[in-house]
C-alpha cells in the first residue's frame, strides 16, 4: 500500500490533493514573501521524500500572495548569526529538498508570480516545468546582500541561462522578466493572469502519462546529464529497456496501431 501524506504535518506549506494524484504544494508565508526558513526547507524535504511513494502523479509548486518566493529568510539568517559549518549544513538541507524534487521522479510544475529571487529562483529551477505570468521577475540579489548562492543556483540556474548570464545576474543584480525570461530558459511558459491555472492544466495533462514514463523523464534525464556521454547512452538504453516494455504501454501502442490514438499534429 502506498505511503500516506499526513497534511497536518505541514504548516509553512499548504498541501492539497486534487484529482488524478495531482497535489498542490503552496509556500504559505505570504507575510514574509514566502522566504525560505529552516522549517519550510524541512517541510519540502518531507513532502518530496514521501511523494514518489505516495502516489503523487504531479506536484504543482506555488507561492501564496503576490510573490512566489523571496529566497533565503534573511531575518532568520541574521538572527541566528550562524557559523560557517552551521550554514553549510543549512545549504545541505536545501540540497536535500531540491535534489528530491529534481531527481525524485515526480514531475514538479512551478507556478510563478512576482519575485522569484535568490533562493526562490534556486527552488524554482529545481522544478521540471516553470510557468510565469506578467508579474513574474527573476533575480539573484546575493551579491548586493553580501551573500552567495547556496541552494544549487551555480548548477541549475547556470544550466538554464549559461555561465555568463548567471555571473552577470549575481554581479549586477540584473532582473529578467517577460518574454525575455522565457527566451533565456528561466521559464517554459508565460501567461497573462493566473500562472497557477496554467500550471494545473499542464499537471492534468502530465498526469495522463504512464507513471513509469513520468518517473523516467523526471529522474533519468537529470541523472544522465551528470554522466559521460558513453555512460549516459548506456543508462538511457537501460531505462528505455524498462520503460518501453512496460505492460501498461501495450494498450497505447495497440491504439496507435488500430488508428484510434490521437496523432501528433501542428498547433492551429
Ligand atoms: C523577508 C524576506 C526575506 C521579504 N527574508 N524576510 N532575498 C532577497 O534579497 C529578497 C529580499 N526581499 C525583497 O527584495 C522584497 O521583500 C520583495 C521584492 C520579495 C517583496 O517586496 P515587498 O515590498 O512586497 O515586501 P517587503 O516590505 O520588502 O517585505 C514584507 C515582509 O516580508 C517584511 O517583513 P515584516 O515583518 O517587516 O512585514 C520583510 O522583512 C519580509 N521579507 N523578503 C526574510 N528574504 C541558500 S543561500 C540563498 C541566498 C539568497 O536567497 S539571497 C537572496 C535573499
- Residues 218 and 128 occupy one common structural domain: no
- Residues 151 and 231 occupy one common structural domain: no
Report if residue 2 sits inside a domain: no
Residue 49 Cα to ligand 1 midpoint, Å, equals: 27
Of the residues 207, 222, 238, which one is the last residue of a structural domain?
A: 207
Residue 253 Cα to ligand 1 midpoint, Å, equals: 51
- Which residue, among 194, 225, 58, has the nearest Cα to 127 in the 3D structure? 58
Candidate from 12, 63, 74 with most ligand 1 atoms within 8 A of CB, to mutate: 74
Residue 66 Cα to ligand 1 midpoint, Å, equals: 12
pTM of the model: 0.98
Report if residue 267 sits inside a domain: no
Work out which ligand 1 atom sits closest to the CA atom of 145: 9
Across the chain, which has 268 residues, the per-10-residue mean pLDDT values are: 90 97 98 98 98 97 98 98 98 98 98 98 98 98 97 98 98 98 98 98 98 98 98 98 96 96 92
Report if residue 182 sits inside a domain: yes
- Residues 202 and 226 occupy one common structural domain: no
Residue 236 catalytic? Answer: no
How high is the pLDDT of residue 219?
98
Report if residue 265 sits inside a domain: no
Work out which ligand 1 atom sits closest to the CA atom of 90: 46
- Residues 189 and 237 occupy one common structural domain: no
Locus of grid cell 513520468: 214
Range of the domain at 63: 7-207
- Residues 220 and 103 occupy one common structural domain: no
Grid coordinates of 176: 529578467
Q: Name the percent of the chain lying above pLDDT 70.
A: 100
- Residues 195 and 215 occupy one common structural domain: no
The CATH number of the domain holding residue 217 is 1.10.12.10
- Residues 108 and 225 occupy one common structural domain: no
- Residues 200 and 226 occupy one common structural domain: no
- Total domains, the chain: 2
CA atoms within 13 A on the CB side of 148: 6
Of the residues 166, 186, 207, which one is the last residue of a structural domain?
A: 207
| Angle formed at CA 45 by CA 156 and CA 143, multiple of 5 degrees | 40
3-state SS assignment for residue 217: helix
- Whose Cα sits closest to atom 42 in ligand 1? 32
Task: Quote the CA–CA distance of 204 and 19 in Å, as a whole number.
Answer: 8
Report if residue 18 sits inside a domain: yes
Question: What is the length of the chain?
Answer: 268
CA atoms within 13 A on the CB side of 190: 17
| Angle formed at CA 13 by CA 125 and CA 129, multiple of 5 degrees | 25
Of the residues 207, 223, 248, which one is the last residue of a structural domain?
A: 207
Report if residue 68 sits inside a domain: yes
Cα dihedral sign, 79-84-89-93: positive
Task: Quote the CA–CA distance of 13 and 5 in Å, as a whole number.
Answer: 13
Confirm if 130 and 162 have CB atoms less than 8 A apart. no
Report if residue 144 sits inside a domain: yes
How high is the pLDDT of residue 268?
76
- Residues 87 and 203 occupy one common structural domain: yes
Question: Ligand 1: residues whose CB is within 6 Å?
Answer: 32-33, 35, 67, 70-75, 91, 94, 115, 117-119, 141-142, 145, 147, 149-151
Confirm if 136 and 112 have CB atoms less than 8 A apart. yes
70 membership: H or E segment, kind and range: none
Residue 17 Cα to ligand 1 midpoint, Å, equals: 29
Report if residue 268 sits inside a domain: no
- Residues 65 and 109 occupy one common structural domain: yes
How high is the pLDDT of residue 1?
56
- Residues 140 and 203 occupy one common structural domain: yes
- Residues 157 and 230 occupy one common structural domain: no
Confirm if 207 and 58 have CB atoms less than 8 A apart. yes
Instruction: Point out the catalytic residue in the list 43, 46, 102, 122.
Output: 122
Amino acid at each position: 500500500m502506498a505511503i500516506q501524506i499526513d497534511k497536518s504535518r505541514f504548516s509553512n506549506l499548504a498541501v492539497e490533493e486534487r484529482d488524478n494524484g495531482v497535489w498542490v504544494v503552496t509556500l504559505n508565508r505570504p507575510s514574509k514573501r514566502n522566504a525560505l526558513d529552516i522549517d519550510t526547507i524541512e517541510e519540502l524535504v518531507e513532502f518530496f521524500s514521501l511523494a514518489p511513494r505516495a502516489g503523487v502523479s504531479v506536484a504543482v509548486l506555488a507561492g501564496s500572495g503576490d510573490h512566489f518566493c523571496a529566497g533565503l529568510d534573511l531575518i532568520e539568517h541574521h538572527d541566528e548569526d550562524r557559523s560557517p559549518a552551521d550554514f553549510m549544513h543549512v545549504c545541505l538541507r536545501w540540497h536535500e529538498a531540491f535534489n528530491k524534487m529534481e531527481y525524485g521522479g515526480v514531475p514538479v510544475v512551478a507556478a510563478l508570480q512576482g519575485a522569484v529571487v535568490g533562493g526562490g529562483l534556486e527552488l524554482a529551477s529545481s522544478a521540471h516545468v516553470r510557468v510565469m505570468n506578467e508579474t513574474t521577475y527573476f533575480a539573484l540579489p546575493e551579491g548586493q546582500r553580501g551573500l552567495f548562492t547556496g541552494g544549487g543556483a551555480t548548477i541549475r540556474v547556470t544550466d538554464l541561462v549559461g555561465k555568463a548570464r548567471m555571473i552577470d545576474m549575481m554581479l549586477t543584480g540584473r532582473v529578467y522578466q517577460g518574454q525575455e525570461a522565457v527566451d533565456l530558459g528561466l521559464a517554459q511558459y508565460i501567461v497573462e493572469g493566473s500562472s497557477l491555472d496554467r500550471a494545473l492544466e499542464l499537471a492534468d495533462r502530465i498526469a495522463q502519462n504512464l507513471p513509469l514514463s513520468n518517473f523516467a523523464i523526471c529522474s533519468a534525464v537529470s541523472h544522465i546529464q551528470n554522466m559521460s556521454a558513453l555512460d549516459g547512452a548506456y543508462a538511457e538504453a537501460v531505462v528505455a529497456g524498462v520503460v518501453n516494455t512496460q505492460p501498461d504501454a501495450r494498450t497505447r501502442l495497440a491504439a496507435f496501431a488500430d488508428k484510434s490514438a490521437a496523432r501528433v499534429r501542428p498547433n492551429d
